[in-house]
Structure 1
């Protein structure tokens, strides 16, 4: 009956501690993860917005640059020597040379479909055309056509020299029929005068807009947004689905336009010159493309009069919208991936924290049961109470700083995350991560110390290689040393083997090395050495830091006299590691020694039995 009652009391105590610490640790985890989740989602959406803006800017400039090339090319050809000679006095030599000029230009600039010279009566006199294999050829004279009734000829023949006609986007026609496969064409034309200044004909460059737009689409390396080009009427001039493109030429009644797909977005986009907005249909980034904008820049560069630009070029037919659309489903998919990754991480952390809460609960349960048993003796009770008070005092004091840092920076990020830059948020996250790691290391040390005090910790001695153990232990404090440019130097011969509990010895070395780094000056050394002496291995950790006074050396390993000293860069020094090291060495039949002088440095050393392998 008594055993049953005792077991029930033990379970009751355990569950009370377990649920208390589980809620406490879970609260800390949520306090960190919720702001971090918000930060990651904001980063994701901000990155998409920035990528889309950059993509639109590059694509917009690329299209304008193609137009600039065409204007400079037509100006060059219109004033080329053979052109002038041919216009003033047509002859086979200049015609041949001029056809070579046309051909070379079409080879260099793959986006030209045709280059033509048409006389003042509208008759083609020279036409170079690109074949299906992408090679230019000279059209035979009997295949030349009259273009007198074409709008581009009617407009251009009445212009003055240096004036340029820019046609709306249209399909190429041959002998009055739309050429197949479809070729979207923009025509740039300029009058060609003779030596007396009289217009004798026009030079026409057919820009294959389909080629330029395909290059624009192929250059879109974004995996987020769909690249679109839309005219004033809402028709797609460019769409990832080829069947949606050129619908106003093929079958406008059977295909949806941008206006029909996104009516609200269409109104907003055409109401503004450029911008970015998000609605329930997704993220839209857009820029107005006006070819005359780029042509004016070219005119200025060539010192040509701006009033020579044709007035009909200001028509709305010349306005296009370069658009990138990220569907809302794609944005939500990315956010769901973030939720999934962080959710999995949070679940793993919660599981680890539950194990930690279970460990703490078990430890505290055993302590509580020990306290109950110690009530039988006043002296034993007093000692138990002193141990308990000291333990709680150590835990509360040493957890205060990292927990305050975590809570403080988490609250700042939660309440004002939009006010900070990416670099500042990363800096805050780094502080939170470092404080969390310090807290976990402290809890590990405190739990190990308490296990040692409660008698639940057993020594599992075995043979181990000293050098291998030291090198493995130094991985963790190496980051701490790098921050202060401190070099960790090992002076350990190969083949040194000791006989002790390797986990306990690893904890001792880790604490002593961490302590040495903490109290060393920047750009210094910490030396870890081992040497065989009289069937023992002497292990030393030496630093050249602030040192320890004689009075403080006496307090180093006493729980009731623990003192606090800041490191050389204001690192906190708890002292629990030294107490734990002393406990562990004593359980391995060893003792810790201190050799120190103020402002000269400190050496901690201890001896371990050499193993049978070492003795052999």
Structure 2
């Protein structure tokens, strides 16, 4: 048989205060940790996605800047190579082919003084034009004019932002340089762009390093004959410094490599420009980090994340329009007129943002969340302590109450037994006396004895009704009703049956209701109807006696309430109500039709 402790099944787990406290704290820690982990994971993932998009946007900006810079250099080259002052200069030279063994100048015997003056004026004008161009444009380390044989005729160097016209004695022969040789095959609408390398002067690499990209184009005289080559030494340092400043200002580390995995820019400056030196041929990413090199060299663009951070890479094909991600800035007509030093020539831009910057916001948020979680956990621990202390106090009070109830029960039981025994003896003696009908005092004593016996029974019922912690078991109602009816000397007409959770006090409920019908309604018949709903059991106990006045119907369950001449101590229905409520139910009274009173009890249904 299934048993119930108050409102709990007795075979369930017993939760001690410490177990409850530990469980609350443990569940709170798990819940807080889970929520914190989920929030941090989502925020971290979102931050990574935003960082990836931001890094791609930075790389797009850098690529646009490079293409725009190279496009501007080509435009400047075409502007200078077609300059009228250059034609004027070559037209003023000797009728001999420019670059003859006579060093381009007419002897006094072969040319008039007027022609020599025109030549000098053209040279001075051209030097001024080159100087002004160098001053305005800025990023060109050298602006040069070579004759058809590769000899420098004019060179303007940019030093500390100011142009300097190089003296004739310092001019050099560049006929063996690859950019000059490649330029000789160009026509008027074509230009040549060299590899990205370091500037060489007097066959030595200039110190400090001067990264340079050379743009060259052929020039023609008024007769349409090739007369020389214009060479612009574009400052690679200007380009690289601009890129480094752009990325480092945004918490990125920047590097740039050529197609052979040599560094133009590296986090370690000692690795840069290795291909320019005999002892630097092994200073490549392919040697130092082959796996990473294979990853970035196998695609035109992409991103890699590892323990070192987020890497974003992009291949740049100088002036090759088909490789540009956004062609709108690559539509200049100049870009279709360029010959590259190497058709497979490309650069690789690589940016790296360290882990601490990728997840900086989420880490800061996590710190804030941890602080809030700690405060919340402290509050939970504090409240748990209060709950623990409260439960302990209640358990202690309950134990004391149980102990007191047990003691009072023993005392009460002892008194009831002794008093009931004495009263029973007195009643038996009075009933045997023939004076009970003759002597009013004897009759009164008999009546008071009956009252005392009833009072002892009522006290027993009261004790049962208020007893806490008693074990509830499944009780079938029909046998109990029949037993009570038989003991009361009454007839019970029963329709239906039900099983409820109850204890020994259930019998006293029906004893009081049957006694109420017999004494107050004056009947010895009761009608009992039982029915079930989804959640409750309904028990109706009705009689057809004198009934109860409607104005006192709501008061009959109050402690000490009496009505009628036969009212005793006013505890019977109060005990009934308390017992039913202890079972989790309810009871009320209403008028029966055509007469009498009806008591309606509702109790929880057993599932």
- In the superposition, the TM-score normalised over structure 2's length comes to 0.54
Equivalences for residues 402-441 of structure 1 within 5 A: none
Q: Quick check: 2:47–2:359 contact (8 Å CA) kept in 1?
A: no
Are 2:176 and 1:173 aligned? Answer: no
Aligned equivalents of 2:92 and 2:329: distance in 1?
29
Q: 2:352 aligns with which of 325, 336, 361?
A: 325
Aligned equivalents of 2:366 and 2:216: distance in 1?
57
**Is the alpha carbon distance of 1:371 and 1:231 closer, same or farther for their aligned partners in structure 2, counting shifts above 3 Å?**
same
Q: Secondary structure at the match of 2:247?
A: coil
1:56 shift after superposition: 1.9
Q: Quick check: 1:68–1:294 contact (8 Å CA) kept in 2?
A: no
Q: Quick check: 1:21–1:361 contact (8 Å CA) kept in 2?
A: no
Q: Quick check: 1:190–1:203 contact (8 Å CA) kept in 2?
A: yes
Instruction: Kindly provide the CA deviation profile for residues 75-134 of structure 1, in whole angstroms up to 9, marking residues without a partner as x.
Output: 122223323322333533333333333223323333210001111121111110122x33
Are 2:22 and 1:19 aligned? Answer: yes
Are 2:72 and 1:45 aligned? Answer: no
Aligned equivalents of 2:163 and 2:389: distance in 1?
86
**Is the alpha carbon distance of 1:356 and 1:116 closer, same or farther for their aligned partners in structure 2, counting shifts above 3 Å?**
same
Which one is further off, 229-238 or 37-46?
37-46
**Is the alpha carbon distance of 1:334 and 1:249 closer, same or farther for their aligned partners in structure 2, counting shifts above 3 Å?**
farther
- Please name the residue that 1:123 is paired with: 151
Q: 1:69 aligns with which of 62, 69, 72?
A: 72
Q: Secondary structure at the match of 2:304?
A: strand
- Please name the residue that 1:242 is paired with: 269
Aligned equivalents of 1:104 and 1:242: distance in 2?
34
Q: 2:186 aligns with which of 146, 150, 159?
A: 159
Q: 1:211 aligns with which of 225, 238, 246?
A: 238
Equivalences for residues 463-542 of structure 1 within 5 A: none
Equivalences for residues 6-155 of structure 1 within 5 A: 14-89=17-92, 91-131=119-159, 133-155=160-182
Aligned equivalents of 2:373 and 2:172: distance in 1?
74
Aligned equivalents of 1:240 and 1:25: distance in 2?
48
Q: Quick check: 2:48–2:359 contact (8 Å CA) kept in 1?
A: no
| Structure 2: segments with no counterpart, 5+ residues | 1-14, 94-118, 406-461, 470-607
Tell me which protein shows more helix as a share of its residues: 1
**Is the alpha carbon distance of 1:248 and 1:309 closer, same or farther for their aligned partners in structure 2, counting shifts above 3 Å?**
closer
**Is the alpha carbon distance of 1:254 and 1:88 closer, same or farther for their aligned partners in structure 2, counting shifts above 3 Å?**
closer
Q: What number of residue pairs does the alignment pair up? A: 370
1:334 shift after superposition: 8.8
1:255 shift after superposition: 6.6
Instruction: Kindly provide the CA deviation profile for residues 241-291 of structure 1, in whole angstroms up to 9, marking residues without a partner as x.
Output: 322221222464487422233211111211111111234654321111111
**Is the alpha carbon distance of 1:256 and 1:146 closer, same or farther for their aligned partners in structure 2, counting shifts above 3 Å?**
closer
1:344 shift after superposition: 5.0
Are 2:338 and 1:309 aligned? Answer: yes
Instruction: Kindly provide the CA deviation profile for residues 296-341 of structure 1, in whole angstroms up to 9, marking residues without a partner as x.
Output: 97997554593x432x54433x311001134568769998777666
Q: Secondary structure at the match of 1:292?
A: coil
Aligned equivalents of 1:267 and 1:243: distance in 2?
22
| Structure 1: segments with no counterpart, 5+ residues | 1-11, 386-616
Instruction: Kindly provide the CA deviation profile for residues 476-520 of structure 1, in whole angstroms up to 9, marking residues without a partner as x.
Output: xxxxxxxxxxxxxxxxxxxxxxxxxxxxxxxxxxxxxxxxxxxxx
Instruction: Give the structure with higher Rg (CA).
Output: 2
**Over aligned residues, Cα RMSD in angstroms?**
3.7
Q: Secondary structure at the match of 1:228?
A: strand
Aligned equivalents of 2:234 and 2:370: distance in 1?
53
1:217 shift after superposition: 0.7
